[in-house]
Each structure stands twice: as structure tokens, then as C-alpha cells.
């Protein structure tokens, strides 16, 4: 089998267990997801890594999803000093932040967790529309939407992890 591993993927594959766990924790807050992805090393391609990530995401329990969601700041309020959440939420205009935060609080009251959406490439208006649409969902429907959105976020973050030049 021919390897298409990038230098970043090779570094991830060769990282010791504590470093791999740290890197994966930055991608997704679920320890179960991280353990599954780490156990699949070495990966011969980004596609193989993403496939394992997708399978691990599909297998997460409701508690695992809650653990993963706990690592995400509310839309409209990136975590201070966190360039990842700032980059991912860059489509949110200042004029929408207050409305997004207010609706996010209502969403949290209803669902027990922050509104989670893959913000990369979306405008603030698109995120606001999705929040308004999803706030009325039942718990099971919303959990599966969150699972899908987390999977998208994880794919973007994993690709960035293994494609970035660390120097």
C-alpha cells in the first residue's frame, strides 16, 4: 500500500501517546473519540484518519457528545485567547453577536448545552437562521444534528492538524 502521508500526518503518527492525546483533545473534547482515533495510528492518509474520526463520532454515546460539546464556546463569543474558535467564528458580525448570544442562552435552557454548528465558512446570518430553526427541535433530533456538526468540525480541525507546518 502506498502512503500519502504528509509531514504533518507523519508527525501525528509518530507522536507519543500523551502528545497524541493532547493534540486530539484540541480537536474534540470527547476522550472516547480521542482514544479511538489515537488507537488507529499510524494512518497512511488523511482520508484514513477522517474515516476513523467519522466512525468514532458515530459511536459516541449521549454522554460522550456532551463531553465533546463542553469544549465549544457559544456562537458569537469565541473563547478569549483561542485562535481556533476565533477563526471558526470569523463569519459572525458584531451586529449579530448580541442576538446570537441571546438565542444561544434560550437554546441552552431548552437543550442543556450550547448551540453547536460548524461555523467555518458560514456567515453570521446563516448561523442565526440555523439557530432559530433548530431551537425547537426535540432532544433526539438535535443530538443527531450536533453529532453531524461535530463530525464536520473534527474533519476540519484534523485536516488543519496534519497539514499545518508546525514551524
Pick 119 or 65 by higher pLDDT.
65
Contact indicator for 28, 54 with CB cutoff of 8 Å: no
Locate 27 and state its grid cell: 480537536
State which residues form the domain around 92. 73-136
Cα separation of 42 and 14, whole Å? 8
Q: Are residues 45 and 86 in the same domain?
A: no
The CATH number of the domain where 102 resides is what? 1.10.3330.10
Mean pLDDT of 6-27: 94
Q: Are residues 104 and 159 in the same domain?
A: no
As annotated, the active-site residues are: 72
Helices (H), 40-167: 46-58, 62-69, 83-88, 94-111, 124-134, 139-163
Digit-coded pLDDT (tens) for 88-137: 555 555 667 788 888 988 999 999 988 999 988 888 889 899 999 999 99
Q: Are residues 127 and 151 in the same domain?
A: no
Locate 19 and state its grid cell: 502528545
Amino acid at each position: 500500500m502506498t502512503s500519502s502521508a504528509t509531514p504533518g500526518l507523519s508527525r501525528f503518527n509518530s507522536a507519543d501517546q500523551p502528545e497524541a492525546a493532547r493534540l486530539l483533545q484540541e480537536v474534540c473534547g470527547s476522550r472516547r473519540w480521542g482514544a479511538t482515533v489515537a488507537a488507529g495510528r499510524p494512518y497512511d492518509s488523511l482520508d484514513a484518519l477522517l474515516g476513523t474520526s467519522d466512525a468514532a463520532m458515530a459511536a459516541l454515546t449521549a454522554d460522550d457528545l456532551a463531553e465533546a460539546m463542553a469544549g465549544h464556546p457559544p456562537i458569537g463569543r469565541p473563547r478569549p485567547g483561542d485562535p481556533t474558535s476565533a477563526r471558526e467564528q470569523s463569519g459572525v458580525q458584531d451586529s449579530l453577536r448580541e442576538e446570537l448570544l441571546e438565542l444561544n442562552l434560550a437554546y441552552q435552557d431548552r437543550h442543556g448545552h450550547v448551540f453547536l454548528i460548524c461555523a467555518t465558512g458560514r456567515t453570521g446570518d446563516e448561523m442565526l437562521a440555523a439557530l432559530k430553526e433548530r431551537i425547537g427541535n426535540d432532544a433526539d433530533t438535535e443530538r443527531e444534528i450536533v453529532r453531524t456538526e461535530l463530525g464536520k468540525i473534527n474533519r476540519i480541525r484534523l485536516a488543519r492538524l496534519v497539514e499545518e507546518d508546525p514551524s
